[in-house]
């Protein structure tokens, strides 16, 4: 700093000079190096995320107090992280963003204290928290103090879970313990080529296992979007990524005490969906695209799919019906015939929990032949993982409406929000088949002796299949027994869902008094 100025105007001028120095960052060369990697600077990212001119920085003049290893000679303002709040579509959002130009975005004691403060502010204000991650992990020169800083972040991530939406945007490297903070948040966004996440890097992997792998091959965006399931969304560039973060925030409530923001829809609530009669074949063995069904039902065909590239046999979608936000869980017959397996169960369970935490009503569309059989699935814990989805639905208190389009067999039917586990209202199309298993498999079990003893076993099997279908799998069997509330015309599905959800809008349900449940892991 310069010598103390003698008047107020001089001091204000000095303040503006310091702010400008902090805003510019370490140097133009550092900024050019960031751009050369295809990455935006920290201020450019915040400007894209927040409404223009709305950002209010917190502790922009903070500097570290560490000594040793030359740190006392290098004390830049912000200490490598920019924190504050602003507006997204006019609603308050808190943000912290690593500045890779300063210490590679590495976390030190002062850096961590700034993040802790902004997280505490977000929790207290009841507003979403977005982290823009581009850091090299713990600041090695500060030793255990840096590690303790991560612990404080993890503790706050956990305290904020289910209270305010937490969104992690990966815009650079995130290695070691630092990767656990995004894993604790509600949504993870990644950008191809420039963002990576892993616990141990390629060099360590090669030293321990002998396997050679690149950073992107180990923990790049496509790996986490399609293989590990760590990333919910992946984009080609930062601008498109941050625009989608803004869109996601527009359909989420500020906190768990509020409902999601509604809009006035120009899509008529009573619009007939005649196209559904052609989109969904009556033959349960023919595949179709469930995404097209959802697009036909929701307002203007607009939806945001969560985990689009992971566990593709189940769809998890945020959309609107008559301007009201809903979460849609649906089997996808185009992928593995829509069966439930380990990954699909985990994906849907987490989505159901998120919707329940933030007061988003659930619509479940069933066309499920069962759980995926196989040694790998059983040894991998399909019982334990499938129970996660069952637990999530049973524990959910938001409005829950389910529709059986075609097949709904066995335990998978029960798990996919059947009436027996607490769905508020259940509907079925005239093409529904609700049963313990498919007619062919059931006939082989029930009529095994008759088929074996017949002169023509195949003819007997065919006859028994038809008999089983006629007795136990006709479209009105479940309705006759009160297991579905109504059989509806597919073309009326949109209107029926909107009217049912409007009726359930004031639903109130209390869970038993307890510290917390003990869900399957």
Provide DSSP, 133-193.
E---SB-GGGTHHHHHHHHHHHHHHHHHTTTS-EEEEE-SEEEGGGGHHHHHSSEEEEETT
Residue found by looking up tokens 């027996």 in the block: 420
Q: Is 189 exposed, middle or buried (0-12, 13-18, 19+ CB in 10 A)?
A: buried
| 176 is an active site residue | yes
Integer CA distances (angstroms), 401 to 419, 485, 486, 497, in order: 9, 11, 12, 8
Q: Please say whether the dihedral angle defined by the alpha carbons of residues 185, 188, 193 and 198, taken in this order, is positive or negative.
A: positive
Per DSSP, the three-state class of 428 is: strand
92 — phi, psi (to 5°)? -65, 135
Rounded CA gap, 445 and 369, in Å? 17
User: Residue 486: left (phi > 0), alpha (psi -120 to 50), or beta?
Assistant: beta
Tokens for 249? 């925030």
Tokens for 248? 């996601």
User: Residue 169: left (phi > 0), alpha (psi -120 to 50), or beta?
Assistant: beta
| 330 is an active site residue | no
Q: Which residues of 134-155 are buried (b: 16+ CB within 10 A; e: fewer)?
A: bbbbbbebbeebbeebbeebee
Q: Which of 380, 411, 422, 441 is an active site residue? A: 411
Q: Which of 177, 226, 381, 441 is an active site residue? A: 177
Residue found by looking up tokens 């030190």 in the block: 108
The DSSP letter of residue 265 is -
Rounded CA gap, 261 and 284, in Å? 38
| 70 is an active site residue | no
Length of the chain: 521
Rounded CA gap, 408 and 413, in Å? 5
Per DSSP, the three-state class of 426 is: strand
Contact status, residue 185 vs residue 209, Cβ threshold 8 Å: no
> Rg (Cα) of the chain, in Å, rounded?
27
- A 10 A CB-CB count for 113 gives 18
Q: Please say whether the dihedral angle defined by the alpha carbons of residues 296, 301, 306 and 307, taken in this order, is positive or negative.
A: positive
Give the residue among 144, 85, 87 at the shortest CA–CA distance from 120: 85
Contact status, residue 57 vs residue 85, Cβ threshold 8 Å: no
Q: Which of 126, 162, 176, 229 is an active site residue? A: 176
In DSSP terms, 327 is beta-bridged to 318, 362
Q: Which of 412, 428, 439, 479 is an active site residue? A: 412
| 412 is an active site residue | yes
Active site residues: 176-177, 411-412
């Amino acid at each position: 700093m310069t010598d103390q100025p003698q008047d107020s105007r001089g001091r204000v001028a000095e303040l503006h000079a310091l702010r400008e120095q902090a805003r510019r960052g370490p140097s133009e060369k550092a900024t050019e190096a960031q751009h050369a990697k295809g990455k935006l600077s920290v201020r450019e990212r915040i400007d894209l995320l927040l409404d223009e001119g709305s950002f209010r920085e917190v502790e922009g003049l903070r500097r570290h107090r560490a000594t040793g290893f030359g740190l006392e000679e290098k004390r830049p303002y912000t200490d490598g992280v920019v924190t504050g709040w602003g507006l997204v579509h006019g609603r308050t959002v808190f943000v912290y963003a690593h500045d890779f130009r300063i210490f590679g975005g590495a976390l030190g004691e002062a850096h961590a204290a700034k993040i802790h403060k902004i997280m505490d502010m977000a929790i207290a204000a009841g507003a979403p928290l977005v982290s823009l991650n581009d850091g090299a992990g713990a600041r090695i020169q500060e030793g255990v103090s840096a590690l303790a800083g991560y612990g404080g972040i993890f503790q706050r991530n956990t305290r904020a879970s289910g209270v305010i939406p937490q969104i992690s945007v990966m815009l650079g490297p995130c290695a070691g313990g630092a990767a656990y903070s995004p894993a604790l948040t509600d949504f993870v966004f990644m950008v191809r080529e420039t963002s990576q996440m892993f616990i141990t890097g390629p060099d360590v992997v090669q030293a321990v296992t002998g396997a050679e792998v690149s950073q992107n091959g180990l923990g790049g965006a496509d790996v986490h979007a399609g293989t590990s399931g760590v990333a919910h969304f992946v984009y080609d560039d930062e601008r498109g990524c941050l625009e989608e973060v803004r869109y996601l925030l527009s359909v989420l409530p500020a906190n768990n005490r509020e409902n999601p923001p509604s809009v006035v829809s120009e899509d008529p609530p009573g619009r007939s969906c005649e196209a559904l009669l052609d989109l969904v074949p009556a033959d349960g063995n023919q595949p179709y695209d469930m995404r097209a069904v959802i697009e036909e039902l929701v307002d203007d065909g607009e939806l945001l799919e969560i985990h689009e590239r992971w566990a593709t046999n189940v769809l998890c979608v945020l959309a609107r019906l008559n301007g009201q936000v809903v979460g849609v869980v649906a089997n996808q017959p185009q992928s593995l015939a829509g069966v439930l397996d380990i990954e699909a169960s985990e994906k849907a369970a987490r989505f159901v929990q998120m919707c329940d935490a933030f007061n988003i009503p659930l619509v479940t569309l069933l066309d499920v032949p069962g759980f995926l059989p196989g040694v790998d699935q059983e040894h991998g814990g399909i019982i334990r993982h499938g129970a996660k989805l069952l637990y999530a639905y049973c524990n959910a208190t938001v409005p829950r409406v389910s529709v059986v389009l075609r097949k709904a067999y066995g335990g998978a039917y029960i798990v996919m929000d059947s009436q027996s586990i607490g769905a508020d209202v259940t509907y079925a199309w005239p093409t529904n088949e609700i049963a313990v298993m498919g007619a062919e498999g059931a006939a082989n079990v029930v009529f095994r002796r008759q088929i074996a003893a017949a002169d023509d076993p195949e003819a007997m099997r065919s006859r028994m299949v038809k008999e089983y279908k006629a007795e136990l799998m006709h479209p009105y069997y479940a309705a006759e027994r009160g297991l579905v509330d109504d059989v509806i015309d597919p073309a009326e599905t949109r209107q029926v869902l909107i009217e049912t959800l409007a009726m359930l809008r004031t639903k109130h349900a209390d869970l038993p008094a307890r510290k917390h449940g003990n869900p399957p892991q």
